[in-house]
Structure 1
C-alpha cells in the first residue's frame, strides 16, 4: 500500500486543525482587554472557561476529519503514522509555537492508539520535537533605561501600556511606584533597566504588567497590578518584586492568564528567569497552555523517576475514603486514584468524582483550589513502587490499576502539587506550642472557605485533612468529591427540639433534604482543640450561622464578582 499521499493529507488536516485552534485561542485571549476595560467580569470568567474547552474540541475535529477522509486500513498502519509525523514536523518547523504544534499532533495520535496495528502504541510514535524558535528579547519585551531618570522611565512605560480608558491618577501611581522602589530594592546597585513583556496578562478583575528590573549586580521580578475602578478608569494597585510573591501570582491555585503569547518558549524562558522555583510545566499551564504543561510535567516526572532512588509510596496524611493518594518523596507531586469502593458515608459515584474535577478545572479557583493534570492509560515501572503499597493499590483500586508485565497501568489518575495536609500541620504546630503558626493556619482556613463561597463553591467535606498548606503559607482545598455550587445548597438553622428526648436521640428529629446544610454543625470541625476553636470562632465565627451563607449566596446570584487578589491587603497602594 502506498502511504505517502495519505500521510501528506493527514499531516495537512492536523496542521490546519492546529492553526484553527491557535487562531481561536488567540481571538478569545485578545477579547480579554475589552472585557477588562468595560469591567464585564462575568463575561471575562466565561471567556476563561470557554478557552479551556477549545483544545479537546479541535482534537476531536482533527480526528473526525481523518476518519472521514482516510480508510480504517490506512489509519491502523504504523508506517502511515510515522510518515505523517515526518510530514507534520516539516510543516511546523518555521512556527514560533512549534512545541505546542508538536503536542497537538501527539494528542491526535493518542486518540488513535486503539487503531494502531500490532504491538505498537501511540506513545511509541510520540516523536520528540524541538522547542520553539530562538528570538531576540526585543520581539516580546520592551526595554526601558534610567538614562533620563526613573520618573521619565515610568512615564514612558505608562504611555506604552495605555488602556482604552484613562489612568485614574497617573501622578499618584507614579509616586507610589517610586516610593516602593526606593524602599524595596537592594542597596548594592542602582536600578539601570526595566524589561516588560509587551503583552498584558489579564485574569479575573486585574491586568498585570510583567517584567524584570535590573542593576549591574542583580535582577528582580517586576509585576504591576492594574485594576479597573468600575468608573471608567484604571489605577496601579500594587507593585510586586519579591520572587515568592510573584510565584503566588502564577500559582497552580489560580485561573489561567489571558495573555497573547506569540512565542511561547521565549515567554516561558523569561518567566522562568523571574521565578526559577516554578517548573516549565507550571508556567505553560499558567498561560493557558495546560496540555503543554501536562506534556512538560510528564517528561520531567518520567526523567526524575528513572533516576530517583526513592520509591512511589502512600502520601502522608489520613487515607482518603474515595481516593488512594501516593507520591514520590523526592518529587513535589501527589497522584490520586479512585477506589473501587467508597466509605459508606460517601453517597457519590466515580462519575460524580470526575465531574467535580472537571468543575474545578473550568472554575475560578481564587487561589484556594489546586489545579490537576488528568492522565489516562498512564504506565509506570513496577520496580518504582513500594511492594506493600502496590499490593494495596491493586487490591483497593483494581478497576483503575492493573499489572501488565513489569508495568503498572493506571486507566485514570490525577497529578496534583503536593502540600502539607492541614491536619498534620496543625498537629505539629500544637506539639511545639507554636501559637503564631496555629493562628495563621486557622485564619487561612477560614479565609479559604469564605473565598471559595464567594466564588460560588461549597467545599462540602471541610475537615482539616481535605485542605493543604503551601510553602507560601496559603491554605488550599484539594479534596473535590463533595464539592458543589454554593447556590445549589440550602442553608438551614437546626430546628429547636420539641422535647428533651429528641435532642438526646441518635438520629436527627428533623427532616434533611439532599442539599440541606446546617452551618451550626461546623463546630465539630474545630472540636479537636480549644485553641483552634477559639481562634476560628474569633476570626470566622459567622461561618457557623446559616444567614452568613445565605447572604453569600445572594451575593453570587446578583452576579457580584468579589475581589480576591493574589497578594496581601497590606501590599496594596494607598489611593
Structure 2
C-alpha cells in the first residue's frame, strides 16, 4: 500500500527527531566519564556541541524533506494538517512526546518562515494533557533518616552513580549533617518519617556534579542539592589519585533557584521522562517557569515552546499593555515590556547611534555567541522569535509609535495586528543604574561588590562585556547582577589590555587627544572608573571593592590562564557556604 505524502512527511520528521535524541543522549550520558576524568575542556566543547545539535539536526531533516517532497507538497497546509494528525499518533506512547512536538514545529516554521502559526497545522498546543499518561519509571531513590543524619548523607554520597570514590565520605557526611542540624526546621529534624529523596540521575555542569532532591517529614519539605567536586587541584589529578568531596549543601529554595538559573548553560543530566522530570523540579522551585526548567536540563527549544504558550495565555487575559521599558534608551536595541510579565522584548533598531560601528548581522552574531557560550550565571539567556504577532490594542499607543519609528523594517502594522518580524526575549531585571538610585548604603555596597564579581566571572569564562556601563547590567530578584546587553561583547582573548604609558612631558596630559597610540582592540583598565561612574562616591567604593579590575596585569593574567587551557571554577553558590577550599582557582557569586 502506498503511503500518503502526509504520512511520509510525519515519518520523515520523526526519523530526524530520533537521530537528534540519540545523539543528544550520547553527549549527555558521556558527562559521567568526562567528570570522572576531569576532562574540563572536553566538557566545555561537549556543552557547545549539544547546544548546536538541535539546529544542525533540524537543518539535516529539512534537507531530507526538500529532497523527498515537491515544493507543492511542502507548502500545502492541508498536507501539514494531515501530517500533524499522523505525527500525534506516532508519538502517542513516547515518553518525550512534548520534545517531539517541538521538533515538528521547528520543521514547519523552517518551511513557512514562522508564518501560518495555527494549531491545525502544528502543535501550538500540546496533543495531550500533561497528566494524561504517567510512566512507571522510578525517578528518585529514598532513605529513611531515623535520626541518623550522618548515615543518611553517607548513603546519599556513596550510592550516587559516580565512577570516582570520595576522599572521605564519612567526613563529608559529618560536615553536611552538622549544617543540616544547624539550619533545618525543628519539625523536620525531629520528624519520625523524615527521609532524603534524590533524583537517580546526576546533574553535571562545568567542574561540578550535583545530586538534587529534597528532605521531607513532619509535614515539612526543603529542597536539597549536594555539589560534588574533585578534591585535588587540576594539575594533581590522575586516575590513581582522583577523589571526590562534598563542597556544601544547598537547602534554601532561592539558592537552589540560582543553581538552575536562566543565566547558566544547561545541565548535562540523563532524563528518561522530560515532563515528569520537570514536574519534580518544579516542586522544588515552584516560582521557576516551566520553560526555564526545560532549558536548564538542556531542552532549550522546548523551553521556548513553553515560554510562548505561557506568554500567549498571559496576553489573552489582557491585564495590561506593552510599554517601552523604563530606563536609558539603547543605542542599538529598543526594549519594551508587559509590566505584569517577567520578560523584556528587544528589537534591533534600523539605524544605530553613530558611535556604534556595527551591522544588524553583527548584533545577531553576538547573541548567537551568548547562546553557545558558558554564561557562568552572569549573562541572561535569550529566546529568538520571528514573525511575532499581537493585537494593536495590546500596545500602549506611545510604545507602538516608538517601535514603528525606530524599527519600521521589523515592526509593521497590518490592520488591527502588529507584526514583529524579529525580536529577542529575556528575563526582566531592574537595570543596575536604576537600582542604585534607590538603594541604601548596605544595598549599594552589596550590589557593587556583585557587579565587580560579575565582570570577573565573565572574564574567567573568556568573555569581555565591551560596554560595561551600569545600564547594561540588571539586578535579579535574588539581588544578583547579570549582564544583558550583548552588542559589544567579545572574547577576552581578543582584547589587548594595556597600561597607559607615562607622558613624556606634563603638557601631554592636558591634550584633548591621547599622547599614545590606541589600536582597535586596546583597552586601558585605568580608565574604567570615570567611564563607569559619574558619581565619585560610587567610583571610590567600587575601586575599594575591586582594585584589580583597574590593573592591566590582572586582565593579562586571566588571558594567560585561558591560553594555557585552564578552566577556572565559577560556583553557583557563595564562597562562605563551602565546607573546605581545595586550593583550586575559583570564583563564587
- Shorter-normalised TM-score: what interval? over 0.9
The answer on 1:322 being equivalent to 2:332 is: yes
**Residue of structure 1 in register with 2:566 after alignment:** 560
- From 199, 202, 213, the equivalent of 1:197 is 199
- From 525, 543, 560, the equivalent of 1:519 is 525
Whole-Å Cα distance in 2 between the matches of residues 152 and 551 of structure 1? 44
- Alignment check: 8 A CA contact 1:249 1:566 kept: yes
- Alignment check: 8 A CA contact 2:468 2:532 kept: no
**Residue of structure 2 in register with 1:539 after alignment:** 545
Whole-Å Cα distance in 1 between the matches of residues 45 and 222 of structure 2? 34
- 1:564 partner SS: strand
- Alignment check: 8 A CA contact 1:142 1:197 kept: yes
Whole-Å Cα distance in 1 between the matches of residues 88 and 469 of structure 2? 50
- Alignment check: 8 A CA contact 1:456 1:556 kept: yes
Whole-Å Cα distance in 2 between the matches of residues 286 and 34 of structure 1? 21
The answer on 1:88 being equivalent to 2:94 is: no
**Residue of structure 2 in register with 1:287 after alignment:** 297
Whole-Å Cα distance in 1 between the matches of residues 341 and 2 of structure 2? 43
- 2:379 partner SS: coil
**Residue of structure 2 in register with 1:366 after alignment:** 376
- From 388, 392, 406, the equivalent of 1:382 is 392
Whole-Å Cα distance in 2 between the matches of residues 438 and 113 of structure 1? 50
Structure 1 residues 385 and 4, CA, compared in 2 at 3 Å: closer, same or farther?
A: farther
**Residue of structure 1 in register with 2:487 after alignment:** 481
* Bigger mean CA deviation after superposition, 77-86 or 141-150: 141-150
Aligned counterparts, 1:264-275, within 5 A? 264-275=274-285
Whole-Å Cα distance in 2 between the matches of residues 451 and 157 of structure 1? 31
Whole-Å Cα distance in 1 between the matches of residues 461 and 104 of structure 2? 36
Map Cα deviations across residues 53-88 of structure 1 (whole Å, 9 max, x no partner).
111111111111111111122222222111111111
Aligned counterparts, 1:387-536, within 5 A? 387-429=397-439, 434-536=440-542
Shift of 1:504: 2.4
- 2:46 partner SS: helix
**Residue of structure 2 in register with 1:259 after alignment:** 269
**Residue of structure 1 in register with 2:587 after alignment:** none
Shift of 1:536: 1.1
Whole-Å Cα distance in 2 between the matches of residues 3 and 412 of structure 1? 41
- Alignment check: 8 A CA contact 1:201 1:210 kept: yes
Structure 1 residues 525 and 326, CA, compared in 2 at 3 Å: closer, same or farther?
A: same
Whole-Å Cα distance in 2 between the matches of residues 495 and 124 of structure 1? 67
- 1:347 partner SS: coil
- Alignment check: 8 A CA contact 2:81 2:120 kept: no
Whole-Å Cα distance in 2 between the matches of residues 221 and 114 of structure 1? 42
* Equivalenced residues, count: 567
- TM-score of the pair, normalised by structure 2: 0.93
Map Cα deviations across residues 517-544 of structure 1 (whole Å, 9 max, x no partner).
1111101135422321222111111211
**Residue of structure 1 in register with 2:162 after alignment:** 163
The answer on 1:305 being equivalent to 2:303 is: no
**Residue of structure 1 in register with 2:142 after alignment:** 143
Shift of 1:549: 1.0
- 1:202 partner SS: strand
Structure 1 residues 168 and 494, CA, compared in 2 at 3 Å: closer, same or farther?
A: same
- 1:222 partner SS: strand
Name stretches of at least 5 consecutive residues in structure 2 with no aligned partner: 582-589
Whole-Å Cα distance in 1 between the matches of residues 369 and 253 of structure 2? 30
- TM-score of the pair, normalised by structure 1: 0.95
Map Cα deviations across residues 164-204 of structure 1 (whole Å, 9 max, x no partner).
11101111011011111111111124351221111100000
**Residue of structure 2 in register with 1:240 after alignment:** 250
- 2:519 partner SS: coil
Shift of 1:137: 7.6
**Residue of structure 1 in register with 2:128 after alignment:** 130
- 2:269 partner SS: coil
Structure 1 residues 573 and 91, CA, compared in 2 at 3 Å: closer, same or farther?
A: same
Shift of 1:159: 3.2
- 2:187 partner SS: coil
Shift of 1:290: 0.5
- From 329, 354, 366, the equivalent of 1:344 is 354
Shift of 1:9: 1.2
* Bigger mean CA deviation after superposition, 517-526 or 373-382: 517-526
Name stretches of at least 5 consecutive residues in structure 1 with no aligned partner: none
- 1:451 partner SS: helix
Shift of 1:508: 2.3
